[in-house]
Amino acid sequence: MYTLIDGKLLAAEMRGELKEKTQLFEKERGRKVGLAVVLAGDNPASQVYVRNKIKACDEVGIKSFAVYLPQNVTQSVLEQAVKELVSNCAVDGVLVQLPLPEHIDAESVLKLIPAEKDVDGFSAENTGKLLLNEQSLVACTPHGVMKMLEKYKIDTKGKRAVVLGRSNIVGKPMAVLLLNADATVTVCHSKTQNLKEECLRADIIVSAIGKPKFLTADMVKEGAAVIDVGMNRDEAGKLCGDVDFDKVKEKCSYITPVPGGVGPMTITMLMYNAYYAAVRSKT
């Protein structure tokens, strides 16, 4: 019998707690926690993500600053917008929604966000601190996965964890967080040989590959905990994860659904990061 990890419920609980914290912050500092979101271009998925982030800000009592720029925005206009948000003391965190239009040098834009306002946790400084196991703003998706493991009391100490995917925003920080939580971590990617054997040894599998039904039941050890970060569309256009959920769940101790698993936790951790940045700010 498996336990379904309810990301939606967990996120709602955490947002309730966060709302109380932001209210207290407002009372003490005389201002709200502020989060700025920059959206450049007309990518429909990005528009949905930004809308959801603003909705979440409203829900937890964070003031949102949204800047919308056209698809043909120039590098200098975009950079100027980010600079203005960064220097605004009512803004505790700045997030630039990715991907940016192709003609934009995204790295230069992201470098304008100082570590203390880098609520996505993508900067070299925050990534470095994570590696050193120092307090920092941690990338939201892997941070959300760790909260799920913690809340469902899934032990990581001495356990074998396999992370599928090595992107800078999910796979790598995920592996470091698990390592910092005393798991024995293996990271798999497109060049990994014997990936199935690696997975079969795992007590915990976190899949962040981006391929529907990639992780099948024959790749999962009986009793493993499976966390599905993937957000894909199946042949019918339906949202699905990386895991062949219906078959894999029968072998698991714990499993996350898609939708309703990691997704809601990611936005919640963004809110958490904005609050964390605000508490540490001098304003």
**Closest approach of ligand NAP to the CB of residue 101, in Å:** 18
170 is an interface residue for ligand NAP by CB under 6 A: yes
Beta-ladder partners of 95: 37
Taking the least distance from each CB to ligand NAP, the nearer of 45 and 124 is: 45
d(CA 229, CA 142): 9
Using the rule CB under 6 A, which residue among 230, 256, 273, 274 binds ligand NAP? 230
Q: Which stretch binds ligand NAP (CB under 6 A): 110-118, 153-161, 259-267, 268-276?
A: 259-267
120 is catalytic: yes
155 is catalytic: no
189 is an interface residue for ligand NAP by CB under 6 A: yes
Q: Considering Cα of 222, then 225, then 230, then 234, what sign does the dihedral take?
A: positive
Cα dihedral 205, 208, 214, 216, rounded to 10, equals 20
Taking the least distance from each CB to ligand NAP, the nearer of 61 and 263 is: 263
User: x/- site string to ligand NAP, residues 198 to 217, per CB under 6 A?
Assistant: ----------xxxx------
Beta strands at 34-40 and 3-4: parallel, antiparallel or unpaired: unpaired
**Closest approach of ligand NAP to the CB of residue 258, in Å:** 8
**Closest approach of ligand NAP to the CB of residue 168, in Å:** 8
Taking the least distance from each CB to ligand NAP, the nearer of 53 and 63 is: 53
191 is catalytic: no
* DSSP string across 218-264: GGS-TTEEEEE---EE-TTS-EE-SB-HHHHGGGEEEE--SSSSHHH
The answer to whether the beta carbons of residues 259 and 6 sit under 8 Å apart is no
d(CA 180, CA 42): 38
d(CA 156, CA 159): 5
**Closest approach of ligand NAP to the CB of residue 181, in Å:** 20
Catalytic residue among 21, 53, 63, 117: 53
Locate 77 and state its tokens.
């206009």
257: nearest Cα among 236, 238, 274 = 238
Catalytic residue among 6, 118, 120, 228: 120
240 is an interface residue for ligand NAP by CB under 6 A: no
Q: Which stretch binds ligand NAP (CB under 6 A): 21-29, 110-118, 226-234, 248-256?
A: 226-234
Beta strands at 224-228 and 239-240: parallel, antiparallel or unpaired: unpaired
d(CA 230, CA 208): 5
Beta-ladder partners of 224: 252
Using the rule CB under 6 A, which residue among 34, 41, 61, 165 binds ligand NAP? 165
Binding site for ligand NAP (CB under 6 A): 141, 164-167, 169-171, 188-192, 195, 208-211, 229-232, 262-263, 266
Active site residues: 53, 97, 120
